[in-house]
Structure 1
Amino acid sequence: MTDPTHQPASHPASQPASPPAAATPSTDTVEAVVRAQLAKALGGRRGMAEAAVPTLLFTITWLTASDLDLALTVSIGAALVLLLVRLVQRSTVQFVLNALFGIGIGWYFVHRSAQSGGSEQEQALAYFLPGLLYNGGYAVVLAFTCLIGWPLVGFMVGSITGDPTAWHKDKQVVRLCSRLTWLLVAPCVLRVVIQAPIWLAGNSGSMDPDAAVAALGVLKIALGWPLQLAALGSMIWLLSRNRTPVEPDAAPA
């Protein structure tokens, strides 16, 4: 009776049955689900580039030409060109529209600053305020979801299983999703902690406004996608450590 029980484990011919299941990991593990959803949310390399290029051009134009109108024109023009390319290719315009939305909010803050009599340097500083507010608000919301035990990343799992809250029954899944959500919080907090004092110093006059704009422009690039990719790399590392089964209809044992 001993030999038959050991035969399947040592018989190589019995193993090929498992690879097909592993070849389609999109729904069999929490880790695979989150990886797929993060890739979809970011739009891949192209989506990340489309989100970064307009801001990158605004910063470079301002630093080289010190012309706010020109910087805004170049930034908006680049986003419109990217949008046109997407339309011609009949592909999703979501990420370009996100960039245009961000530029539009930045332009609104610049316009308000100009209406209140702000100098061109103060108007340029106003362009960076929406980013600070966004990162601060985003960090607060994500942290709140973790603190109340409903981490936002968990809903990515729910979108795959078909039940938006079933994942919450498994404490192991909740812990994993909380860690992943905290990793998304970290870059936002770091941006605010580093950039907010410079923005305040530039507006209060304790720091030269031109120097503050230049510093914020450089930091916006340095703390943008490089920092986000570092966070995502940490998430991928964490996701590669375990394989937590997705059980959409299973209650906790």
Structure 2
Amino acid sequence: MSNLPGGDSAATTARLADADLPPDIPGEDTEAQRAAASKEAADTVIQAFGGVRGMIDMTLPGLVFIVAFNVTHQVATAAWSALGLSALFVVVRLFKRETIQHAFSGVFGVAIGAWISMKTGKAENFYLPGLLYSVGYCLALAISALARWPLIGVMLGPITGEMFTWRKQNPGRLAAYTKATWAWVLIMGVKPVILFPLYFTGNVNLLGWMKVALGIPPMLLAMYVTWQILLKAPPPIKAQIDEE
């Protein structure tokens, strides 16, 4: 008997999930297989967001900026230092033949912040693009959850191999992805709520150090909460790819 909500739809989902499992497995082993599949899918959370390395790539340039600004009191010097570090991260990843997605997105954001801060001569503007991005990201997450296209599912689906089967065939995972997406809205929304008032005070030091402090911990918390949610979700239904 299926433990998924939705009556006949849930039963259909359970049968589809069983179809992805090896045949002739006793009931207890089947449950263990499903639990293992759910854990494997949950573990993709770290991969999707670049892991700790990806978070470091996006956090250290901000730290370098505030340190360089305190030492030199020159916006341009601090901006170029942060941009140089971001570019170095991209080069290192290319040299190691690693994905540059997160490092490249980091250097892009740093470049915009560096340009704005040098153009205006205001050090706090280095952090403005990141603040606006945080607000836009939270809005996008909320809208996607309301539209029943939760961004966490959109991001993880291709990695787990389920693509978008969770939307129609696996209501339990749709519910889990929606719940995880709202968790990201709440957790990541803390950053702009705290940092925007600091930005408007013009206190560059406090803004910079708080930006660094709120870089990795909230994301780690959001990833952990998502991982816990997906551990309890039904296993993914692998998408069937038509072969011609």
1:246 is matched with which residue?
236
Higher Cα Rg: structure 1 or 2? Answer: 1
- Determine if the alignment matches structure 1 residue 35 to structure 2 residue 62: no
In 1, Cα distance between equivalents of 2:224 and 2:160: 25
Question: What is the CA distance between 1:249 and its match in structure 2?
Answer: 6.5
Q: Residues 24 and 97 (structure 1 numbering): CA distance in 2 closer, same or farther, change over 3 Å? A: farther
Task: Output the CA distance in 1 between the equivalents of 2:239 and 2:103.
Answer: 37
When structure 1 is superposed on structure 2, of 217-226 and 186-195 the one drifting more is 186-195
| Pair 1:228 & 2:236 matched | no
Which segments of 5 or more consecutive residues in structure 2 lack a partner in the other structure?
A: 1-24
Q: TM-score, normalised by structure 2?
A: 0.75
| Mapped partners of 2:155, 2:98: distance in 1 | 23
Verify: 1:172 aligned to 2:179, yes or no: no
Q: CA deviation at 1:153?
A: 1.6
CA–CA separation in structure 2 for the residues paired with 1:92 and 1:249 = 24
Identify which of 204, 225, 228 aligns with 1:237: 228
Q: Deviations over 1:182-229 (max 9, x none)?
A: 1221233111111112222x3xxxxxx3xx111110110111111211
Number of aligned residue pairs = 213
TM-score between both structures, scaled by the size of structure 1: 0.73
In the other structure, the counterpart of 1:185 is 185
Aligned to 2:87: 80
In structure 2, how many angstroms separate the alpha carbons of the residues matched to 1:179 and 1:124? 38
Residues 5-54 of structure 1: per-residue CA shift (max 9 Å, x gap): xxxxxxxxx98x949x84994xx33x532431x22222223222222221
Cα distance between partner residues in 2 of 1:24 and 1:172 = 14
Is 1:52 aligned to 2:51, yes or no? no
* SS in structure 2 at match of 1:153: helix
1:102 aligns with 2:109: yes
Query: Quick one: higher RCO (CA 8 Å, sep 6+), 1 or 2?
Result: 2
Match of 1:195 in 2: 195
Please list every run of at least 4 consecutive aligned residues from structure 1 whose deviation after the TM superposition is greater than 6 angstroms.
none
Shift of 1:91: 2.5
Return the alpha-carbon distance in structure 1 between the equivalents of residues 235 and 48 of structure 2.
22
Query: Identity over the aligned pairs, expressed in percent?
Result: 30
Residue 214 of structure 1 pairs with residue 205 of structure 2: yes
Return the letter of the residue paired with 1:63: N
Q: Is the 8 A contact 1:33 1:156 kept in 2?
A: no
